[in-house]
Structure 1
Amino acid sequence: MALNAAVEPRITAQTRLLVVAPHPDDETIANGLLIQRVRAVGGTVRVLLLTNGDNNPWPQRWLERRWSIGAGERERWGRRRRAELAEALHRLDVPATALQSLGWPDMGVLDRLLQPDPSASAELAAALADFAPDLVAVPALGDRHPDHGAAHVLLRMALATLGRAPILLGYLVHGHDDGTPMPESPVTPAQQATKQHALAAYASQLALSGGRLRRLAERPERHAPPVASGSTRVLPWRPSPLLWPRLRLTAASTSGLAQQWPWHAAPLRRDGQGGWRLEWPAARTEDACFVRLSLALPSPWIFDHWGWREV
């Protein structure tokens, strides 16, 4: 199924916008103005929340004055973040009934993608079929948070199972993307103020990262269509051989398959020009194929260095 991704959306009272948010606050930081535009003309908005954002230990330690965080504490923190999300949506004029939560593990969206069964993409496909959006905002493939990139891939898998293609817009929170953004619509001071007011509902996140989050929310909202697939399967990276023992390659196809290998076991061959070509049987020419390069090293840094690319 070809994505209707290169068309600039025309927002009307008939617009049905689905915002896919891996964590509470993604919908406001990167889509607060888009949501307001849709609501201002009488359009319908739904927010599909993938996780409750409960794996968020440092703000929780700071605000709760505790070091040890167990399952009960995480569950309580997730409820707090869900309540903040409900208040942010209220400030954006989105009714409480517009929130649908899947309850996936925070920092576990990639694990859902790699499960042998297609349950994660099936849940997204069911949500898409239920709401029938004509406009979907999803994290950009180039977003460096592992939950965000994996969410994009799973959403593309889900869309491939449907017979109807909405306009797909990628939004960026962490890192930078290579997609060409759509033209920005004029923003009024009142809309920007409302967006900041919605962000202020996230007291748990502003406690340690207030300046950074406010700067992210002040950026122009740049929604970009996915980069069109080509026939090549050449990887965009040429990692140093010194890194090979620690590298992991992940590949996923819109056919619903995903797999991960150590670099030395990955289905790769030289392309004759110093690069590497993916020789994965699941990556059929007619399917979109996504690859992710990562380091298997323990680190407090959660963001991807290379991240995902479509090949």
Structure 2
Amino acid sequence: MTATMNPLDQQLARLLAEPGASVVVVAPHPDDETIASGGLLQRAQAAGAAVSVLLLTDGDNNPWPQRWLERRLRIGADARAAWGRRRRAEAIDALACLGLPASCLHAMGWPDLGLTARIADQLAASLVALRAALLPLRPTLIVAPILEDRHPDHSAARVLTELVLAHWPAPRPALWGFAVHGSATQAQAFMLSADERARKGRALEAHASQLALAGGRWRRRVAHGESYVPAAAPVGTGMRLELPWLPAMPQFGACALLVVCGEQAWQLPWREGAVSGPLHLQLHPQPALGFAQTPRAPVFVKLYSRRPGLWIFDHWGWRQGGQEPALTLSSDSASLA
């Protein structure tokens, strides 16, 4: 039977055969655990592995489905909190459809659409909390969003996961990535049986609040199965860092460069000569980020603005750089607008 498996199936079979196998899915919102990994969770449970879902937010900042279903325009704090409780309950019902007990859900209760701000303002405390939640689960495989996922909570979840794993006691768990919003390059297909697919479909229906306006989209997504990107070795030196785009003139003063290394975060205004702690930013002749000394850990960089917008998806994105005293900030986009 192993001979008919694709490489990802074989890798998972080996991971699940290890003594003390434990799979943890890091879900930024309720429904991500089902959409991204409902099949994998079933497979791990059937193999006898410990299975956990670490839910970072309750998905409470989800106004348009709430307005539609509750026939309200204004959403106050109490209504938003009630929506979050509804979505967490939906996640528990979905896990039951997958054959998993409510006890496998571990909720952090962090603010929906607020994970990037946590990195900017509360990085050390967030890493302490995330490490405290993950360590008792003793994961041998962690499944989390990829860095390129277009939802800002998803990409931020990946940054937080990577930062925690950078100081993980040996042996370090394997890390797989998934994309819910957007696509993953180099993703490998994970084959689901007909029964696994059917149970995953029933689990999706438990997330009724998310199907009211986007049911067709998510049902099609579930029908297509799952795919993952196994993480490569931790980043070392010699990497060129490219931003998705560089700010044009109208954004000057409205955005900053958010830089994360180890357990520290800095924000540099996007202007010539900006300085924050050991960092300095130059824009001419080519944007570059300089460090007072060579970083001791991989660096994550993101163009960041606190200015609210109607579009939640993130075309700015995070980039990961190596441990170099200077990183070139070129753009892989022909448009700087």
Q: How does the TM-score come out when normalised to structure 2? A: 0.82
For the residue of structure 2 that corresponds to 1:19, the secondary structure is: strand
Alignment deviations for residues 51-108 of structure 1 (CA, whole Å, 9 cap, x no partner): 1111111111111111111111011111110110000000111111111111111111
C-alpha displacement at 1:281, in angstroms? Answer: 4.3
Q: Which stretch shifts more, 39-48 or 8-17?
A: 8-17
Answering whether residue 16 of structure 2 is matched by residue 12 of structure 1, we say yes
Q: Relative to structure 1, is the Cα distance of residues 305 and 294 closer, same or farther in structure 2, using a 3 angstrom cutoff?
A: farther
The answer to whether the 8 A contact 1:233-1:277 is kept is no
Aligned residues: 299
Q: 1:296, CA displacement in angstroms?
A: 5.9
Question: 1:37 and 1:117, CA in 2 relative to 1: closer, same or farther beyond 3 A?
Answer: closer
**Equivalent in 205, 212, 217 of residue 210 of structure 2:** 205
Residues 173-212 of structure 1 aligned to structure 2 (within 5 Å): 173-178=180-185, 180-182=186-188, 184-212=189-217
* Farther-moved stretch of structure 1 (209-218 vs 39-48): 209-218
Give the greater-gyration-radius structure (CA).
2
Structure 2 counterparts to residues 148-297 of structure 1, below 5 A? 148-164=154-170, 165-178=172-185, 180-182=186-188, 184-226=189-231, 228-232=234-238, 234-237=240-243, 239=246, 241-242=248-249, 245=252, 246-253=254-261, 255-264=262-271, 265=274, 267-269=280-282, 275-281=286-292, 284=295, 286-294=296-304, 297=307
Asked if residue 302 in structure 1 is aligned to residue 312 in structure 2, the reply is: yes
Q: In structure 1, the residue corresponding to 2:16 is in which secondary structure?
A: coil
Secondary structure of residue in 2 paired with 1:103: strand
2:191/2:225 contact within 8 Å kept: no
Counterpart pick for 1:133 among 136, 139, 148: 139
Higher share of residues assigned strand: 2
TM-fit CA distance, 1:290: 1.0
Partner of 1:96: 102
SS at 1:80 equivalent: helix
Query: What amino acid is aligned across from residue 202 of structure 1 in structure 2?
Result: H
- CA distance in structure 2 between the aligned counterparts of 1:96 and 1:296, rounded to whole angstroms: 36
Q: Name the SS of the counterpart of 1:231 in structure 2.
A: coil
Show structure 2 runs of 5+ residues with no match: 1-9, 322-337
Specify whether residues 212 and 280 from structure 1 end up closer, same or farther in structure 2 by C-alpha distance, changes over 3 A only: farther
Question: What is the Cα deviation at residue 220 of structure 1?
Answer: 3.5
SS at match of 1:68: coil
Q: Which runs of 5+ in 1 are unaligned?
A: 1-6
1-side partners of 2:11 and 2:287: how far apart? 35
Distance 1:192 1:281, change over 3 A: farther
Of structures 1 and 2, the one scoring higher in RCO (CA 8 A, sep 6+) is 1
Give the letter for the 1:12 counterpart.
L
Name the % identity. Answer: 44
> 1:181 corresponds to which letter in structure 2?
A
C-alpha displacement at 1:222, in angstroms? 1.8
1:72 aligns with 2:75: no
CA contact (8 A) 1:11 1:37 kept: no
Query: What displacement does 1:166 show?
Result: 0.3
Structure 2 counterpart of 1:213, one-letter code? W
Q: 1:244 deviation in Å?
A: 5.0
